[in-house]
Amino acid sequence: MRLPEILARSSAPREREAEPTVRRRRVVVVATVVVGAALLGGTLAAPVGSRLFYGFGVLVAATWLIGGRLSGPLHLGRSGGVVGGGRAVVAPFLLGVALFAAFAAASLVARRLPFLAGAVESVLARADSGPRAFVLALALVNGVAEEVFFRGALHSAFGRHRPVLWGTALYALVTVATLNLALVVAAVVMGIAFSTEREATRGVLAPIITHVTWSTLVLFLLPR
């Protein structure tokens, strides 16, 4: 699957879910969003780099993963969303690299803007607050967990009702709990990219690959 195709709308039909599955999925999604947002807000009160800070990070990831799994069936997806297509791997990786390059350039500009400079520095401080291997592991686990829930359970809960638009909006709204403008802006941009991939492939594998690629590059290569 080529890079442009990973963001192209799929012509493959969406999988139809039974009404009981849809109802269960929506109930679980609402409950998970409430709990996840509360825990995400808790990280704000925890001292950066403390056990409490990392504890909240683990709990947030667990919440997204459990909520995603309890909501109902999830699918990895295929190239072009077609059942007979192969798994999209290379294109999502390249998209992650491209998004990182764009964010790296944007971060240099953001640091010159008073209303964004502090938010960017706060994100980097949290990224550099502990052992690099542990911070990376936590970031990757959270990246996978977010995709399982937001591009898996949440996206499916909206069905045909503009899942890219409303899924991205809710993703950004949950991120508001961090009270960090840079993270909210990133959630909007990345949410659109991840949700579009989800639509193109009809599954969560592509956005997971893009997310973990982007997170890894941000942690190690974003200019400090």
Residue 51: per-residue pLDDT? 87
> What length does the chain have?
224
More confident residue, 155 or 21: 155
In whole angstroms, what is the distance from residue 134 CA to residue 122 CA? 19
Domain locations in the chain as residue ranges = 17-221
Q: Please report, for residues 26, 133, 175, 224, the alpha-carbon distance to residue 149 in angstroms, rounded to integers and kept in the order given.
A: 12, 24, 14, 31
In whole angstroms, what is the distance from residue 204 CA to residue 64 CA? 14
Residue 124: which pLDDT band, with cuts at 50, 70 and 90?
A: confident
Q: Please report, for residues 21, 25, 43, 114, 143, the alpha-carbon distance to residue 56 in angstroms, rounded to integers and kept in the order given.
A: 30, 25, 6, 29, 15
Residue 131: per-residue pLDDT? 82
Read off the pLDDT of residues 27-48 as tens digits, 9 standing for 90 and up.
999 999 999 999 998 887 788 7
